[in-house]
Amino acid sequence: MDLGYNPMKLPVCSIRKEILLNQDDVVIRCRGLVKRYGDVTAVDGLDLEVLRGECFGLLGPNGAGKTTTTEILEGLLPADDGDVTVQGLRWGESDAELRQQLGIQLQETLLPAKLTVTEVLRLFRSFYHNGHAVQEILDTVELNEKKDAWVSKLSGGQKQRLAIGCALVSEPDILFLDEPTTGLDPQARRKVWEIVEKFKSGGKTVLLTTHYMEEAERLSDRVAIVDHGKVIALGSPRDLIGRLGGEDVVEFSVEKGVRLPDAGDLESLTGVQSVLIQDEMVRLSVAKVHLAVPALLEKLAETGAQLSMLTTHHATLEDVFVALTGRHLREA
Amino acid sequence: MKHSRHSLIELTMARLKEFWREKEIVFWVFCFPVLLSVALGLAFRGQSEVLIRVAVLDVEGAAELAKSLDEHESIDCFLLTEAESVVQLRNGDVVMLVVPGNPHSYRYDPTRTESSFARLLVDDALQRGAGRQDLLLGKDDYVEQVGSRYIDFLIPGLLGLNIMGSGMWGVGFAVVSMRAGKLLKRFLASPMRKSDFLLSFLLSRLVFLLPEVICILGAGYLIFGVEIQGSILSVLLVALVGCIAFSGLGLLCGTRIKTVEGAQGMLNLVMLPMWIFSGVFFSTKNFPEFMQPVLKFLPLTALNDAIRAIMLDGASLASTAGGLMIVVAWGVIPFFVALKIFRWN
């Protein structure tokens, strides 16, 4: 899909702000990260800095290189190129020290099926010098009622909360969450979010990987949008959405065989900030939806075009991703 | 709570609980060998009661011949047509066919021990029937003494087999299923000491070794009266060495395999030959001379030989040292190779 031009005129990222940061506040830093699998470059010169006490979201479609990046930062994969520091330490030099400080939840870990919730937490607790009592974690992840149940008897959401419990049991400074709510129903997802928010409220740092824009918007202080192994936009969710120029998005398409109004004509409509025409679909970023829609209808009536579809919604990170890449998060 | 139990203890406890809660594994480790020994013990009890089944081709005068053979205490004789005899010989329902004539001819497969035996037996009966007088008299003295029966041979073999199976599956399979479920990777992401992890497998194997030994030897003693001629402590020590060795070999087998199916294939590939070639169910002496040096160096052969020497011949631990060295080598070398090439994710 060739967009031809970048109608949203998005700045790629605001580097200036980070240079001014106190270096002590940067807990994870990576520069020029590269990882290749054969001919495929999964991570292609990725830079990022995560600040103490923030929840930093890596948002992108499947296959964007988020998990690879995370696992390099977690010291589970060697990078082909680039420099990584976590808490000012480097993998390969201070592994034992780093492992004590990090709480890690991986995608799709099958915890021992025939152990109880308590037994699994006790096992993970035994790996760390310091940490929470198992009972505290049971309370935190709301698994008290299930504490004597085998892992195999837990629901998807309960298993995921237990996996997060295993990451929290060491009282970590940094929590890595890789797609923590993939495959969960909305209620189970909200419970996970509450746990993450509780952890963050203690001034701790979270690095979150997700392809759900609601999750990134709700949990993240800052989001890096990742595509093809690179950060293509960076900022707070509000900031990124704001760069679209309008708070709302109007999408419409017209009956076949009728000429659409020109992009320029549409952009000059009242309240319309920018226009993206993609196949049959037209997306307008609008500031005042109550003015923009009547203006649009009037314009269409002028040109004799019949609407076949019209929707409006509040702009989300999804719209930011579409504006940047012409693709949706889910379709990669 | 600012302290917790040592991770080696927690890991070992986790292994033990997982093992115990997996009822299928408990069956294979504790019940299966006992059932197998009972079945085989019954099948091979009192060889003298077994009748040799032979046939006479149904031609003129065959009925009389068959009747006289059938009267022999060890022969069960049938009249068969040509077509029937082909089928029954092939199926092993009868082991030899007598074609009456002058001379009689014996149709049988000489590679079958039972057939060769039938040939001697039938010929002997017919010769005597024809009036042959034996020049030398022999007297039968049946061996029924405890320690020389088939079950006495079998029980030590089953013990060795079980030590191999539980070591290989208990370590090799468990490691691969943890890798397949990405649990190994999760452990790698924690500060868990890798030595604790590997040691926990060995410790949990050792904890279950004693009940395994007691189960098999106890069943052998209670059901068949199989006794241990040598020291029981020596048997336990040999079992311990075998347990450690097969844990090491199991670890090597599971060291790089990614799927549970792959692990099953690999473990069977390594273990099945030893089911046959290591003297579990029958003596390795049945195989040709040129194979003997190879068979002797298989870990299970060495283990079985050591257990049998102590249990049946009352040998001392010291006298089995040579065989035990082979077993130890099979454990230690794979263990260190496995450590070098082990894949966590």
Say whether both A195 and A288 belong to one domain.
no
In terms of domains, do A153 and A227 share one? yes
Contact at CB, B183 and A109, closer than 8 angstroms: yes
User: Which pLDDT band, with edges at 50, 70 and 90, does A3 fall under?
Assistant: very low
Residue A270 located in a structural domain: yes
pLDDT at A2 over 50: no
Using an 8 Å CB-CB cutoff, list chain B residues near A130: 2
Contact in structure between A58 and A46 (CB atoms under 8 Å)? no
**Whole-number pLDDT of residue B71:** 85
- Spatial separation of the C-alpha atoms in residues A86 and A98, rounded to whole Å: 8
Q: How close A263 comes to chain B (CA, Å)?
A: 50
Q: How far is B343 from chain A (nearest CA, A)?
A: 12
Q: Is residue A9 part of a domain?
A: no
Query: Residue A268 has what pLDDT?
Result: 86
**Residue A209 in domain:** yes
Determine whether the interchain pair A109/B191 forms a contact, defined as Cβ–Cβ distance below 8 Å: no
In sequence order, the 6+-apart residues with CB closer than 8 A to the CB of A299 are A261, A265, A266, A269
Nearest-Cα distance to chain B for A60, in Å, is 23
Residue A55: strand, helix, or coil: strand
Integer distance in angstroms from the first to the last C-alpha of chain A? 12
> What is the mean predicted confidence (pLDDT) over A156-180?
96
Q: Considering the domain boundaries, does residue A302 fall inside one?
A: yes
- Mind telling me how many Å the CA of A164 is from chain B's nearest CA? 12
Return the percentage of chain A with pLDDT > 70, whole number.
92
Count Cα neighbours of B115 within 13 Å in the Cβ-side half-sphere. 19
Whether residue A11 is contained in a domain is answered as: no
Which residue is associated with the tokens 């490691």?
Answer: B175
Interface touch A114/B181, C-beta < 8 Å: no
| Residues A148 and A272 grouped into a single domain | no
> Smallest Cβ distance to A74: which of B14, B22, B189?
B189
Looking at residues A278-303, what average pLDDT do you find? Answer: 87
How many C-alpha atoms does A31 have within 13 Å on its Cβ side? 5
The CATH number given to whatever domain includes residue A26 is 3.40.50.300
Q: Where exactly does CATH 3.40.190.10 map onto chain B?
A: 50-129
Whether residue B72 contacts residue B98, with contact meaning beta carbons closer than 8 Å, is answered with no
Q: Is A250 found in the same domain as A158? A: no
Are A179 and A249 members of one domain? Answer: no
How many CB pairs below 8 A link A and B? 76
**Using an 8 Å Cβ cutoff, are A160 and A181 in contact?**
yes
Report chain A residues touching chain B, CB-CB < 8 A.
74-76, 96, 99-100, 102, 104, 106-112, 114-115, 119, 122-128, 130-134, 150, 166, 170
For residue B8, give the chain A residue with the closest CA: A126
Give the one of A107, A115, A128 whose C-beta lies nearest to B191's C-beta: A128
What pLDDT, on a 0 to 100 scale, did the predictor assign at position A23?
A: 57
Clarify whether residues A141 and A252 are in a common domain.
no
Q: Is the pLDDT of residue A213 over 80?
A: yes
Q: Which residue of B has its CA nearest to A115?
A: B18
| Nearest chain B CA: its distance from A98 CA (Å) | 8
A203 shares a domain with A221? yes
Chain B, 32 to 51: residues with Cβ < 8 Å from chain A are none
Both A208 and A288 in one domain: the answer is no
Shared domain check, A281 and A234: no
Q: Which chain B residues are within 8 Å of A76, Cβ to Cβ?
A: 185, 188-189, 345
Does the beta-carbon distance from A76 to B189 stay under 8 Å? Answer: yes
| Chain A contact present for B22, CB below 8 A | yes
> Which residue among A203, A225, A241 closes a domain?
A241
- The arithmetic mean of pLDDT across residues A284-288, rounded, is 88
A250 and A236 share one domain: no
Q: In angstroms, rounded to a whole number, what is the distance separating the alpha carbons of residues A246 and B274?
A: 74
How many angstroms away from the CA of B268 is the closest CA of chain A? 24
Please give the residue range of the domain that contains residue A85: 16-241
Which pLDDT tens digits describe chain B residue by residue (345 residues)? 444 579 999 999 999 999 999 888 888 888 888 888 888 888 776 555 567 889 999 888 888 888 888 888 888 888 889 888 888 888 888 899 999 888 889 999 888 888 888 899 898 888 888 888 888 888 777 665 666 788 899 999 999 999 999 999 999 999 999 999 999 999 999 999 988 998 999 999 999 999 999 999 999 999 888 999 999 999 999 999 999 999 999 999 999 899 999 999 999 999 999 999 999 998 998 899 999 999 999 999 999 999 999 999 899 999 999 999 999 999 899 999 998 899 887
Inter-chain CB proximity B189 and A108 less than 8 Å:
no
The region, left, alpha or beta by phi > 0 then psi within -120 to 50, assigned to residue A228 is left
Considering the domain architecture, whether residues A307 and A162 belong to the same structural domain is answered as no
Query: Cβ of B189 and A99 within 8 Å?
Result: yes
How many Å lie between the alpha carbon of A168 and the closest alpha carbon of chain B?
11
Nearest-angstrom CA–CA distance, A112 and B175:
12
Bin A250: left if φ > 0, else alpha if -120 < ψ < 50, else beta: beta
pLDDT for position B49: 56
Of A102, A106, A125, the CB nearest to B186: A106
| Domain-located, residue A4 | no
**Residue B145 pLDDT:** 62
CATH number reported for the structural domain that contains residue A259 in this entry: 3.30.70.980
Euclidean distance between CA atoms A206 and A216, whole angstroms: 12
Q: Which residues of A touch B15 (CB under 8 A)?
A: none
Helices (H), chain A: 16-19, 66-73, 95-101, 117-125, 134-140, 156-168, 186-201, 213-219, 237-242, 263-267, 289-303, 317-325
Contact B190 A124 (CB under 8 A): yes
Instruction: Round the average pLDDT of chain A to a whole number and report it.
Output: 88
- How far apart (Å, rounded) are the C-alpha atoms in residues B173 and B264? 7
Interface test with A, best of B2, B4, B7 (most A CBs within 10 A): B4
Say if CB B51 and CB B74 are below 8 A apart.
yes
B182/A76 touch (CB, cutoff 8 Å), yes or no: no
Q: Dihedrals φ, ψ of B228, to 5°?
A: -105, 115
B14 interaction partners in chain A (CB closer than 8 Å): 112, 115, 119, 123
Whether residue A285 is found in the same domain as residue A157: no
Per residue in A14-51, pLDDT tens? 444 444 455 568 999 999 999 999 999 999 999 999 99
What is the per-residue pLDDT across A119-152, written as a single tens digit (0 to 9) for each? 999 999 999 999 999 999 999 999 999 999 999 9
The shortest CB-CB distance from A104 to any of B7, B9, B189 is to: B189
- As for how many domains chain A has, the answer is 2
Indicate whether A254 belongs to any domain.
yes
Q: What is the CATH number of domain B50-129?
A: 3.40.190.10
Whether residue A74 lies inside any domain: the answer is: yes
DSSP for residue A150: B
